[in-house]
Structure 1
């Protein structure tokens, strides 16, 4: 058996479609349920602290891209940054909360959009942490010598979930035309885009690369009901026999079981579970906070960051906030793509230098998962 190889991120790419949309124009793109402005939109924006985002559709709701095309563009950008061509690619891992089709998988669509020849392709469907699922698959493939060039990408086309047709005429809207908070809040939180990284067994000859020291994933799905989901009503979401496919698409839509939903009360509990995993890694010596130079932590809202900081400040796990890097306010919460959009912007910011250690953390509320990735700039 051959020895395991070191693995390096040699290129990153990010795609933020269309123009940057300010808070005052959001509903021009995602639409107004019942033709009325949202009752909770302003509150959601105060909560999340997002000032701008991008949508892969125009003001008429017509798509400018597909999820797959944005991912393909991000992979091309990452290959170009690594000084590689599409023909060099041997492994493709593609992540998304929801691809463009129900079937087949997202990776097949991304490969087709790339126009790539035969290669290994893997689809990862979850929520935000699916990006690190794809990254771990790519990392292990290169580390084991199965591939010399691997790409991990993640993309979201959340805005299409938020058009009025997903809610109007369903149980999610009351007799006064107001959408349930589990649905309406998310409309002002999530946005569109894609990101990608390329991994190789050696750093690129010029410029900075990132050595991937380790990637850890922890799922706590055995402890919690779904916290963010699509495919069931809020009341029946833990009963898999009540999922939309059993009722049929028309009945499921009428029941409000097709839209993307979030349980915000459960989210407050899940946050503490995420922090518990973080603390365990510090106690085990997997993460040594004093040795972390930069923290890229994905979070969906400024208020969640404040909650995370509040929980950590009294512990030895806290990493000073001056070491944190985020793109949330400027380009929004892009779900699974957020960590790659953040990493791409971090590298272009010039904040990192050789020898610095970068900790990436991606919690997801889907059914309580959290992922960690430790990098060293070389």
Structure 2
């Protein structure tokens, strides 16, 4: 088996940063009224700026595939050119199409050469699953290199226009024309962007990160769905797919909106995160002292203290000086968030050879968790 190194990392964040008070200028107002949830959600999540692939008129400026391709182009120079890439592995929870897959659309944007392509679907863990596919390919010698990416373009899913038909339907039914909190909540949580890494079987340049191991854990066998789109949740906790609804209800019930069961989120996201983190650390005999930086993907600063306390109670307390986050500045970019954190850390000048980094990514969709342990070389 080969060693696998992250030798390059690049990002692409579209347009100018968007401040909290500007969000409704981009996303619009549902029923021409300011959201009652917006201020509460923003106060808890701690995000101050984020990026949208939109103009202020709500016109898209980039597709998800274009965002990803722009990040990947940042990996290329005279030493590593597009023709040198052997594998492309991309993860996202907001592909531009149901089909073709996201990664083949990115490949089409790059237009570089014939190569293997892999698409990882899902939610936040999709970016880590894309990374693991590339890691395993290089490790077993199937390819000498792999480009792996995580990205999102959620802004176009959150435009007010997508919800107005439901509001009109509620008015016709003489019901309160207010969009449910499980939909409105996520309009103030999610943002756009992409980042990519180059994996190779040998270290290159002044700074490389060796991937020691990667692990994943799913709790779907015991927990119901928490975050979903293209479906609606029934009283028994199951979700009904969009294809089983009459097409007119796709609009009148905002079936394709991203929704989250916030009660389930609050009850399980930290508990299962602590449980899976301890499983990964115990399996590989890693202690808190073996971690110099932890990069936890959190959707909201609301969860940070609870996660820290949970680790401490489980005997895996990682002191706060080791925590590295950039949620406040770039927002929650789902499958791209851990890549964006790692890019900022690698560019910070803080890393020293021999240090160890833990990547932690939770996914609330049906409670999945992914981890990677890296050594600075």
Asked if these proteins are the same fold (TM beyond 0.5), I'd say yes
- When normalised by structure 2's length, the TM-score is 0.95
User: Of the candidates 116, 121, 146, which is equivalent to residue 120 of structure 1?
Assistant: 116
Q: Is the 8 A contact 1:232 1:256 kept in 2?
A: no
Q: Is the 8 A contact 1:225 1:237 kept in 2?
A: no
Q: For residue 10 of structure 1, what is the aligned residue in structure 2?
A: 7
Q: Is the 8 A contact 1:39 1:178 kept in 2?
A: no
The separation in 1 between residues aligned to 2:247 and 2:105, in whole angstroms, is 23
Counterpart secondary structure, 2:24 = helix
Q: Is the 8 A contact 2:4 2:139 kept in 1?
A: yes
Q: For residue 247 of structure 1, what is the aligned residue in structure 2?
A: 245
Q: For residue 299 of structure 2, what is the aligned residue in structure 1?
A: 300
**Which stretch of structure 1 is more off in the superposition, 279-288 or 104-113?**
279-288
Q: Structure 2 vs 1, CA of residues 121 and 248 (structure 1 numbering), >3 Å: closer, same or farther?
A: farther
Counterpart secondary structure, 2:164 = coil
Q: For residue 188 of structure 2, what is the aligned residue in structure 1?
A: 188
Q: Is the 8 A contact 1:232 1:252 kept in 2?
A: no
Q: For residue 42 of structure 2, what is the aligned residue in structure 1?
A: 45
Per the TM alignment, residue 307 of structure 1 is displaced from its structure 2 partner at its CA by 1.6
Q: For residue 24 of structure 1, what is the aligned residue in structure 2?
A: 21
Q: For residue 351 of structure 1, what is the aligned residue in structure 2?
A: 350
Q: For residue 226 of structure 1, what is the aligned residue in structure 2?
A: 225
What are the Cα deviations for residues 170-218 of structure 1, in whole angstroms up to 9, with x where unaligned?
Answer: 27967443221101111111000001111000010x2101001111111
What are the Cα deviations for residues 119-149 of structure 1, in whole angstroms up to 9, with x where unaligned?
Answer: 0001111000111100000001011111112
Q: Is the 8 A contact 1:92 1:122 kept in 2?
A: yes
Structure 2: state its 5+ residue gaps.
Answer: none
Per the TM alignment, residue 333 of structure 1 is displaced from its structure 2 partner at its CA by 0.6
Q: Is the 8 A contact 1:152 1:196 kept in 2?
A: yes
The separation in 2 between residues aligned to 1:214 and 1:284, in whole angstroms, is 11
The separation in 1 between residues aligned to 2:266 and 2:223, in whole angstroms, is 12
RMSD: 1.7
Q: For residue 55 of structure 2, what is the aligned residue in structure 1?
A: 58
Q: For residue 76 of structure 1, what is the aligned residue in structure 2?
A: 73
Q: Is the 8 A contact 1:225 1:367 kept in 2?
A: yes
Q: Is the 8 A contact 1:54 1:193 kept in 2?
A: yes
The separation in 1 between residues aligned to 2:143 and 2:242, in whole angstroms, is 39
Q: Is the 8 A contact 1:156 1:335 kept in 2?
A: yes
What are the Cα deviations for residues 53-89 of structure 1, in whole angstroms up to 9, with x where unaligned?
Answer: 0000111111111100010111111334x94110011
The separation in 2 between residues aligned to 1:237 and 1:329, in whole angstroms, is 36
Per the TM alignment, residue 238 of structure 1 is displaced from its structure 2 partner at its CA by 4.8
The separation in 2 between residues aligned to 1:316 and 1:333, in whole angstroms, is 28
Q: For residue 201 of structure 2, what is the aligned residue in structure 1?
A: 201
The separation in 2 between residues aligned to 1:173 and 1:145, in whole angstroms, is 57
Q: For residue 137 of structure 1, what is the aligned residue in structure 2?
A: 133
The separation in 1 between residues aligned to 2:110 and 2:94, in whole angstroms, is 19
Per the TM alignment, residue 311 of structure 1 is displaced from its structure 2 partner at its CA by 1.5
Q: For residue 261 of structure 2, what is the aligned residue in structure 1?
A: 263
The separation in 2 between residues aligned to 1:125 and 1:300, in whole angstroms, is 19
Number of residue pairs matched? 372
Q: For residue 110 of structure 1, what is the aligned residue in structure 2?
A: 106
Q: For residue 159 of structure 1, what is the aligned residue in structure 2?
A: 155
The separation in 2 between residues aligned to 1:173 and 1:116, in whole angstroms, is 49
